[in-house]
Amino acid sequence: MTEKREIKINGLTKAELYFVSEFAHKTEDAGLIDKLISEFEEKNHDTEAIIRKYSTIAGMKPKWIDNIENLLVALEMYRKQEEIVINRLTEALKVAGINVSEEQLKGDELNRVKEEVDKNIKSLSAGQISQIR
């Protein structure tokens, strides 16, 4: 079995160095950064406790909270894009003579709408198709 080794640079682990870097970026307070580093350099220090303490000072959130916030923002952006696409699609379908509501495109009737589009597209002339584009 392989042993898990902690590589240390100037007495700090990679995780500690990463935290110092993030803390320095957030606070830009040289005095606090020096104090943080000196606490990490102490023998038998509690890394987790130090990180919790300085995270509170910097107002840093746990990574999982940042991930959730990012996902919520992505979901909001997706919904806005979905709304734009549905609006454009209903307008294009109206030009083609297919009256479909936004609710129909969002709901369970999407397959029925696809069938109606396929049926109507076959009956359109080349001129009508170019007008839709």
How far is the C-alpha of 32 from the C-alpha of 54, rounded, in Å?
9
Query: Taking the domains of the chain in order of start, what are their residue ranges?
Result: 8-60, 64-132
Q: Do 40 and 49 contact (CB within 8 A), yes or no?
A: no
**Partners of 8 in the β-ladder:** 13
In the prediction, which pLDDT does 1 show? 46
Tell me the average pLDDT across 9-18.
83
Q: What is the pLDDT of residues 65-112, one digit of tens each?
A: 889 999 999 999 999 999 999 999 888 888 878 888 888 888 788 888
How far is the C-alpha of 61 from the C-alpha of 43, rounded, in Å?
27
Give the H or E element holding residue 41: helix 30-41
